[in-house]
Amino acid sequence: MTVIWIDGAWHDETTATISVFDHGLLYGDGVFEGMRAYGGRVFRMDQHLDRFYDSARAIWLDIPMPKAELAAVTLEAVKRAGLDDAYLRHIVTRGRGDLGLDPRKCARPTLLLIVDKIRLWPEETYQKGLRVVTAGTPMPHREALSPRVKSLNYLSHILAKVEAIQASADEAIMLDPAGYVTEGSGQNLFIVKHGIVRTPPAWAGILKGVTRDAVIELARGAGLTVLEEPLNRYDIYTADEAFFTGTASEIAPIREVDGRMVGAGRMGAVTGDLRQRFRQLVRG
């Protein structure tokens, strides 16, 4: 079942509420984190919580609970939900304020946690591979707001997703203002060429994903060379394989980008092997 925790109290969908004056709602002033639980175990919770607290600190926001206590609440929420495969969303906002921007008017942050299910695409789509288009909406400039901050304002990513929907595609690839490939609307991106795995580096303006790090570890553990270097659309068009990674999407193969077939137009051997290794990692 869906479990929601807000500022120390447990709720369901019918009782969970926040103020209309909360600056997370009014201005997107807050940060979030997504996690997965498999068989009641939260995958890499410490890394996710570290990023959650770092994101908050980067926007001058103090999470009103020590990390160890929030970890305990997280485990309790997963237990209460009773879901074998669960998705967790941690959110902290600036809190209730007034209609002005001044964060000092918000007396206390709002901290909440949601435990529910998530499924981005059916298994058939994973087996066939995703149809992807390049979004015209670019990533915000990395010096405007660091992409390492998982802020509540995801409007540019939503607009990229809208472009994918309008093109009858499964997902979109976003570019930076210079035209280099960054990520999907909510995923990191990898390609495989001649057996070498490549992905944009963190400094290129991407979110440094926890699943991304796990996949890099798995690939290197399998004896593959992994390079973190800038990519452009030519690299994607001419790749032997391509795939997305993310907490919600896990490892999702890409079969087509901008009408061009990627490799053989189906899940490649490297992608399939990494997908199997990832499943073994998260499910023990």
> What domains, with CATH codes, occur in the chain?
3-116 (3.30.470.10), 123-283 (3.20.10.10)
- What average pLDDT score do residues 267-283 get? 97
- Rounded to two decimals, the pTM is 0.95
Phi first, then psi: what are they for 25, rounded to 5°? -80, -45
In the structure, what pLDDT confidence band is assigned to residue 284 with cuts at 50, 70 and 90?
confident
CA distance 55 to 5: 20
Among residues 150, 161, 193, 208, the one annotated as catalytic is 150
Quickly count helices (H) and strands (E) in the chain: 8, 15
150 is catalytic: yes
* The pLDDT value given to residue 140: 80
Residue 201: band (very low, low, confident or very high) from pLDDT cuts 50, 70, 90: very high
Q: Report the chain's mean pLDDT, rounded to a whole number.
A: 96
> What's residue 205's pLDDT?
84
Q: What is the mean pLDDT of residues 69-87?
A: 97
For 218-257, the pLDDT digits (tens) are 999 999 999 999 999 999 999 999 999 999 999 999 999 9
Confidence tier at 68 by pLDDT (50, 70, 90)? very high
Percent with pLDDT over 70 in the chain: 100
More confident residue, 197 or 148: 197
- In angstroms, what CA-CA distances link 61 with 32, 73, 111? 12, 20, 11
Listed residue (235, 183, 181) closest to 209, CA to CA: 183
Residue 143 pLDDT more than 80? no
Q: Would you place residue 142 in the very low, low, confident or very high pLDDT band (cuts 50, 70, 90)?
A: confident
- Is 129 a residue whose pLDDT tops 90? yes
Residue 145 reports pLDDT greater than 90: no
Assess whether pLDDT exceeds 90 at residue 282.
yes
Mean pLDDT of all residues in 127-155? 89
Closest of 83, 47, 40, 100 to residue 283, by C-alpha? 40
Q: Output the pLDDT for position 102.
A: 97
Q: For position 279, what pLDDT does the model report?
A: 96
What does the alpha-carbon distance between residue 267 and residue 53 come to, in Å, rounded to a whole number?
Answer: 36
